[in-house]
Amino acid sequence: MIKHIRILPGGLAVLAAVLFCLLTACRDHSRDGMSGADINVYNHGPDAIVSMQVNGYGGPRANPYGGGGGFCCVMVPDVWRPGLTAKITWTSDPNSWMKSSEMPDDYETHYQKHGPIIVPIERWEEDQACGFDVHIFPCDKVRIVRSCHMRDSPEYPVQPEPDGIKKAQNVLINHIKEEIVCPTPQTPR
C-alpha cells in the first residue's frame, strides 16, 4: 500500500522559499556586471581604528599609521562609472598610545565615532579590478581606491608617509601621544 504524504500550505510555502534561495544563490552574477571584492583598511593617523564599516558591512581594525584587517565580500560593479560612492563609518581610539597598565577601567568610553561620510570611489581601470582599500586620514578625510598594485609599489594610488613607521613606533612602542590639529569649519556670517 502506498502512503500519500500531505504537504500543508504553509509547508509548501517554506519549501518554495528554500528552493528560490538556492536557485538565486547559484545564479551567474557576471551577467549583471557585478562581482565580489575584498575591503582592506589603512590608517594614516595616530588614533587606532577599532572598527570600520562600508555601507554597513565590515569590522576590520587598524593600528596607528598601519594597515589593518580586511573583510570579504562586497558586491561591486565590474566597471567604474562616475558617481560611485560608499558610506563610511568608523570608531577610533584616541588613547592607543597609552601603556596597557595605565588604561582606566572605562577605557572604551573614550572611543570616538566618525561618520557617516559619503566618499567617492576613485576611478579604476578594468585590469585593476582587485580589492578595495579604504584609507583613513586625520581630520575625517577618507579615500577609497581599487588597485592590484601592492601598497609599496610606485604605481599604487596612495603612497605611504615616509615617516609613517617612525610615527607608529612613537605611538605604539614609545607611548608618545601625537597631537593632530584639524581645521575648524568656518561658520557663515
**pLDDT digits 0-9 by tens, 15-33:** 444 444 444 444 444 456 8
Q: What is the pLDDT of residues 80-117, one digit of tens each?
A: 999 999 999 999 998 887 777 777 778 788 899 999 99
| Cell digits of residue 111 | 572611543
Task: Tell whether the model's pLDDT for residue 13 goes beyond 70.
Answer: no
Contact 77, 84 (CB under 8 A): yes
**Segment among 21-35, 65-79, 170-184 with least mean pLDDT:** 21-35
pTM recorded for the entire structure: 0.73
pLDDT greater than 60 at residue 186: no
Q: 29 near 62, Cβ under 8 Å?
A: no
Residues in the chain: 189
Q: How far is CA 115 from its chain centroid?
A: 13
**Residue 4 pLDDT grade (very low, low, confident, very high; cuts 50, 70, 90):** very low
